[in-house]
Amino acid sequence: MATPFKRSGLTLLAASLAASALFSTGAQAEGKISIAQQFGIGYLILDVVRDQNLIEKHGKEQGLDIKVDWNSISGATAMNEALLTGSLDVVSAGVPPMLTVWDRTKGKQNVKAIAALGSMPNYLLTNNPNIKTLKDFSDKDRIAVPAAGVGFQSRTLQIETAKEFGDAQYKKFDDISVSLPHPDATAALIAGGSEINSHFSSPPFQYQALQNPNVHKVLSSYDVLGGQATFNVLYTTEKFHDENPKTYKAFYDALAEAEKIIKADKPAAAQAYIRVEQSKLPLALVEQIVKDPEIDFTVVPQRTFIYAEKLQELGVLKNKAGSWKDYFFEEAHGGAGS
């Protein structure tokens, strides 16, 4: 049986955002911030921020009482729509979806990244014993991803596909990709017997899936990017950044403190994840993931510029970034990012 995943007290939105009226509309005034995250331990920094009320803490240090509205959305497409319609102030997704909206809004809303949420590998998994490499996938296979064609997993797969089959065929596997939230895809992969026989997963779901002897890894995102690389980022509009300097500073300082808290006490961070996520995962497994040497919970971006270069070369992005600093707000520029 797959372990159920849920987040109590958070709003789960349909990708269509039909329920967007649930959110406050328009830009928030100073002292308010609405934030959305997706599922998985890739959002541990946000979980610690929430668990420890760090935004509120850093707001008070500036003499500001900040009201924080936490929400949950599955998929980058819904995230970007929510941000651009003014339904949310801050959203989170993989590097490629952030770059897509940066590219799309350049000279208009000017969306940029706030901070990284950490570097961690995403694994392409399958329960099909005949699949050992990308070349073994056929039209009969189905790969589950959170946002088919546009999300982190799909864009990573497209970059690797371009290497293997040539740039002209970078979308080769889009036709067999299916949009499905990580928890549902994990359950399908473990159970077997459905059309979903593969899943470009993320922590903690890939660890859970790999406990099943019928599931194996085909590819790691680190293989594609040449090493440790940022998975998720937070991003917002220039308007929110410029019109809410105290709230923005409190949020960024809260993220930086959460990074320090996690690195100082990883077992405690694992407990915070289970508390906030209302996760049924065993604590020992979550601790194993948090302590995994492949994973670094840091606000400093790593290897994000590879996506900016490759996706521009493939024609996905129209605008060419000169460096990673072009699509991150200046508060993040102090670190040794890339």
What domains can you pick out in the chain, each with its CATH number? 12-119+229-332 (3.40.190.10), 123-225 (3.40.190.10)
Length of the chain: 338
Look up residue 127 and give its two tokens: 């329960």
**With a cut of 70, which residues of the chain have pLDDT below it?**
1-29
Please report the pLDDT score of residue 5 as a whole number. Answer: 37
Please report the pLDDT score of residue 52 as a whole number. Answer: 97
Contact of 233 with 117, CB cutoff 8 Å = yes
Return d(Cα 157, Cα 168) in angstroms, integer.
14
Q: Which residue shows structure tokens 């959460």?
A: 258
From the list 12, 9, 16, the residue with the least C-alpha distance to 184 is 12
Q: Is the model's pTM score more than 0.75?
A: yes
How deeply is 305 buried, as exposed, middle or buried, from its count of CB atoms within 10 A (0-12, 13-18, 19+)? buried
Please report the pLDDT score of residue 319 as a whole number. Answer: 97
Return d(Cα 259, Cα 261) in angstroms, integer.
5
Return d(Cα 245, Cα 64) in angstroms, integer.
11
Please report the pLDDT score of residue 147 as a whole number. Answer: 86
